[in-house]
Amino acid sequence: MQRPLIAGNWKMYKTATEARSFLQDFLQLYHEEYAVDVVMAPPFTALHALHNGLHTTSIALAAQNASSENEGALTGEISPLMIKDLGCTYVILGHSERRQHFGEGNALINKKVHLALSHQLRPILCVGELLTERETGQTNSVIEHQLLEGLHEMTAEQMKSVTIAYEPVWAIGTGKAATVDQATEVHAYIGTMIEKTWGVTRESIRILYGGSVNPENADSLFTSPQINGALVGKACLNPDSFAKIIASAHHSSV
């Protein structure tokens, strides 16, 4: 199994000035020698500041979204070329907030995944069911659909650069994380499906869990060999809690 990956999704929080001060505090608590890959996904406007602050570390930079086009008359859009130029190596795509509030569907997300990969950006593709879908027994079928369409026409080689984040929508920002058993079950399902559909081994793919991960539940989530890290929202905004989650991932992997 690969090293765990902990990614912080800052959402629409922190100015560039606040990002610099966050980083100063965080780097005091961060252990470069930990066996964990760390990714930070600040707003676009803080990418430059973080890139400058991270160059002495192995922490990677991600954008929270990118356009499905390289350039064009698309007011307000940011292309994968632009985020690459600012030092990003990862990009979060298909987050449930993009699906819910900005109408992003699987076909558009698929286009974004392909374009990102063509620029050697590593997509973190988010999938997850709504509460009503879970309650009506549709979790697996919803996720299967999101994966089949979101990763349509992906080669086995390309799949090795894709990270999946399982984020049940009911767990995001609610303080009510999935249990280890619930997450493990879905991760196992995703792993098997990816092996069967794209012919890659489970070990070559990282499946992160996201949704109310915090320093209190991280230890127990990382006991599951199916959970290869986390996509952290709220708790990544605080240097101390983000550092604690990274430490949990390290201790679970050694």
Chain positions contacting ligand PGA, by CB under 6 A: 9, 167, 172-173, 210-213, 231-235
Distance (Å, whole) CA 226 – CA 36: 16
| Alpha carbon 161 to chain centroid, angstroms | 13
Distances (CA, A) of 44 to 71, 94, 95, 172, 225: 16, 16, 15, 21, 33
Q: Catalytic residue among 97, 167, 187, 250, which? A: 167
Question: Which residue, 34 or 209, has its beta carbon nearer to ligand PGA?
Answer: 209
The residue whose Cβ lies closest to ligand PGA is 233
95 is an active site residue = yes
71 is an active site residue = no
Question: Structure tokens of 217?
Answer: 């539940």
Q: Catalytic residue among 95, 97, 129, 250, which? A: 95
Distances (CA, A) of 43 to 64, 96, 148, 164, 168: 7, 16, 28, 20, 22
Give burial (CB, 10 Å; 0-12/13-18/19+) of 54: middle
Residue (of 158, 214, 210, 170) closest to 187 by Cα position: 210
Query: At its nearest, how many Å lie between ligand PGA and the CB of residue 183?
Result: 13
Question: Which residue, 97 or 133, has its beta carbon nearer to ligand PGA?
Answer: 97
Question: Which residue, 198 or 214, has its beta carbon nearer to ligand PGA?
Answer: 214
Question: Which residue, 10 or 198, has its beta carbon nearer to ligand PGA?
Answer: 10
Query: At its nearest, how many Å lie between ligand PGA and the CB of residue 140?
Result: 21
Query: At its nearest, how many Å lie between ligand PGA and the CB of residue 210?
Result: 4
Query: At its nearest, how many Å lie between ligand PGA and the CB of residue 248?
Result: 14
Catalytic center residues: 95, 167
